[in-house]
A and B are shown apart, each in its own frame.
Chain A
Amino acid sequence: MAVTERPSQLTEPSNPIVSRLRAVVLSKEGILFLIMIAAMFILSLLTDKFLTTNNLLNQLRLVTEIGLMALPMTFIIITGGIDLSVGSIFGLSAIVMGFLWQDSGWPLELAIIMCMVVGTMAGFMNGLFIVRVGVPPLIMTLATLALYRGMALGVSEARSARGFPDWFFDLGQRQFLGIPSQLWILLIAAIIAGIVLARTPFGRGIYAMGNNELGARFSGIPVRLYKLAIYTFSGFMAGLAGYIFTSRISTTRADMGTGLELDVIAAVVLGGTSINGGSGSIVGTMIGLVLIQLLKNGLLLGGVKGDATIVIIGAILILAILINNLVQRRAGGD
Chain B
Amino acid sequence: MGAILELENISKQFPGVKALDDVRFDMTAGEVHALLGENGAGKSTLIKIISGVYKPDGGTIRLDGETVLFNTPREAQQRGIATIYQELSLYPELTVAENIFMGHAPRRKLGPIEVLDWGAANRRAQEILASLNIHDLDVTRKIGTLTVGNRQRVEIAKALSLNARILIMDEPTAALTEADVERLFNIVRLLRERGVGIIYISHRLHEVFELADRVTVLRDGQYVGTKPVSETSEDDLVSMMVGRTIDNLFPKLQTEVGKPVLEIRSLWRKPLTRGVSFQLRAGEIVGLAGLVGSGRSEVAQVIFGINPAESGEILIDGRPVMIKHPGQAMNHGIAYVPEDRGTQGLVRQMRIRENISLSVLKAIRSGLFINRKQEYSLATGMIKQLNIRAYSTEQVVNKLSGGNQQKVVVSKWLASKPRILIMDEPTRGIDVGAKAEIHRLMSELAREGLAVLMISSELPEILGMSDRILVMRGGQVVAEFPRQEATQERIAAAMMSETAGNGAPKSETMMIGESETA
Contact = CB atoms under 8 A, between A and B. Distances in A.
A204 B361 contact: yes
B358 to A, nearest CB: 4
Contacts of B325: 222
A14 B266 CA distance: 62
A77 to B, nearest CB: 16
Interface stretch (B74-82, B235-243, B390-398, B432-440): B390-398
Contacts of B412: 219
A218 interface: yes
B344 to A, nearest CB: 5
Contacts of A221: 358
B66 to A, nearest CB: 47
A215 B393 contact: no
B388 to A, nearest CB: 9
B391 A7 contact: yes
Contact of B343 (A6, A204, A215, A220): A215
Interface string A28-51: 000000000000000000000000
Interface in A265-280: 278
A211 B347 contact: yes
A208 B358 contact: yes
A208 B351 CA distance: 11
Interface string B374-404: 0010001001100001111110000000000
B350 interface: yes
Contacts of A200: 365, 368-370
A267 B5 CA distance: 61
Contacts of A6: 389-392
A9 B344 contact: no
Contacts of A15: none
A201 interface: yes
B228 interface: no
Interface in B318-375: 325-327, 329-330, 336, 338, 343-350, 354, 357-359, 361-362, 365, 368-370
Contacts of A208: 347, 350, 354, 358
A3 B390 CA distance: 9
Contacts of A211: 347-350
Interface string A207-219: 1100110111111
Contacts of B392: 2-3, 6, 8
Given A7-B391, A220-B326, A215 B359 contact: no
B355 to A, nearest CB: 8
B285 to A, nearest CB: 22
Nearest to B348: A212
Nearest to A334: B399
A7 B326 CA distance: 37
B327 A3 contact: no
Contacts of B357: 204
A315 interface: no
B306 interface: yes
A117 B346 CA distance: 38
A200 B393 CA distance: 19
Contacts of B370: 199-201, 204
A205 interface: yes
A184 B238 CA distance: 74
B361 A3 contact: no
A3 B383 contact: yes
A10 interface: yes
B347 A215 contact: yes
Interface string B152-166: 000000000000000
Interface in A294-321: none
A195 B394 CA distance: 20
Interface in A206-257: 207-208, 211-212, 214-222
A133 interface: no
B391 A1 contact: no
Contacts of B347: 208, 211-212, 215-216, 219
Contacts of B389: 6
A214 B393 CA distance: 23
A70 B412 CA distance: 33
B376 A1 contact: yes
Contacts of A207: 350, 354
B349 A212 contact: yes
Contacts of A5: 384
Nearest to B331: A220
Contact of A3 (B336, B345, B349, B391): B391
A113 B417 CA distance: 45
Contact of A214 (B329, B343, B349): B343
Nearest to A332: B396
Contact of B345 (A7, A205, A218, A220): A218
Contacts of B365: 200-201
B336 to A, nearest CB: 7
Contacts of B348: 211-212, 215
Contacts of A9: 391
Nearest to B334: A220
Contact of A205 (B346, B361, B390): B361
Contacts of B349: 211-212, 278
Nearest to A279: B349
Contacts of B361: 201, 204-205
A204 to B, nearest CB: 6
Given A204-B354, A216-B358, A219-B358, A1 B343 contact: no
B118 to A, nearest CB: 35
A219 B359 CA distance: 5
Contacts of A199: 368-370
Contacts of B330: 220
A222 B325 CA distance: 8
Interface string A126-144: 0000000000000000000
Contacts of A215: 343-348
A159 B151 CA distance: 60
A8 B391 contact: yes
A207 B349 CA distance: 10
Given A204-B358, A204-B370, A212-B348, A218 B391 contact: no
> Chain A CB within 10 Å — which of B336, B350, B393, B412 has the most?
B350
Given A8-B391, A201-B361, A218 B383 contact: no
Interface string A188-201: 00000001000111
Contacts of A222: 325, 327
Contacts of A220: 326-327, 329-330, 359
A195 to B, nearest CB: 8
Nearest to B389: A6
A220 B363 CA distance: 13
Nearest to B377: A1
Closest 4 CB pairs of A and B: A201-B361, A220-B326, A199-B369, A219-B358
14 contacts: A2-B393, A2-B394, A6-B392, A7-B391, A200-B365, A208-B354, A211-B347, A211-B350, A212-B343, A215-B346, A215-B348, A219-B326, A221-B358, A222-B327
Given A1-B376, A215-B343, A220-B359, 16 more contacts: A2-B394, A3-B390, A8-B391, A199-B368, A199-B369, A200-B365, A200-B370, A201-B365, A204-B358, A212-B348, A212-B349, A217-B306, A217-B326, A218-B326, A218-B336, A220-B327
